[in-house]
Amino acid sequence: MATYYYKLNNTEAKCAEWIGSSQQQYAQNYGLNEHKIDGSQSGVDIHVEGSGAELAFAKIHGIYPNFQEGGPTRIDFVIDGMSVDVKSTKHKAGNLLLPLKFSLDNSAEAFALVRGTVFDGFDYAGWIMAVEYFGKAEKRDLGWGLTWFLDASELNQELIKKPNL
């Protein structure tokens, strides 16, 4: 099993904080609803964590990070022409969770899971095509209402690349 870990340097950590705070402010200014699954964290903490995870994902994959301005989006990267949504969790043994409102019709073509925090570093847990995710994921209540749930052991743990279909 391949494992990939990346610890943000101080500049990258500050960038993640700035990007995450800016995304939270944008969302509040435009009345966007939070789609967080973990009710124990604030929206800004989740945006900062997510921004850090996206920076780590980019560094691990050797690609340029997405510095698009504005609010949160469902497409974080395009790799080999395939749209990718990077999901993150602070839980070291976390799984790939999505809000119940996500479906094949309104999501990226693939999902990736990155676990960790801006200050402790991030582990890349793997990725999965959206069609496979929605075929395997279960609806579970983890204490904050129903959500899509897929155990991280179901993820392809290699670096992401578009499969030949």
List, for residues 38-97, the tens digit of each pLDDT value: 556 656 788 899 999 999 999 999 998 877 766 567 789 999 999 999 999 999 999 999
Domain coverage including residue 123: 4-154
Sheet with 146-150: list strands edge to edge: 96-99, 146-150, 138-141
**Residue 26, amino acid:** Y
Determine what percent of the chain is predicted with pLDDT higher than 90. Answer: 65
Instruction: Note whether residue 46 is domain-resident.
Output: yes
Please state the domain count of the chain. Answer: 1
Residue 161 lies in a domain: no
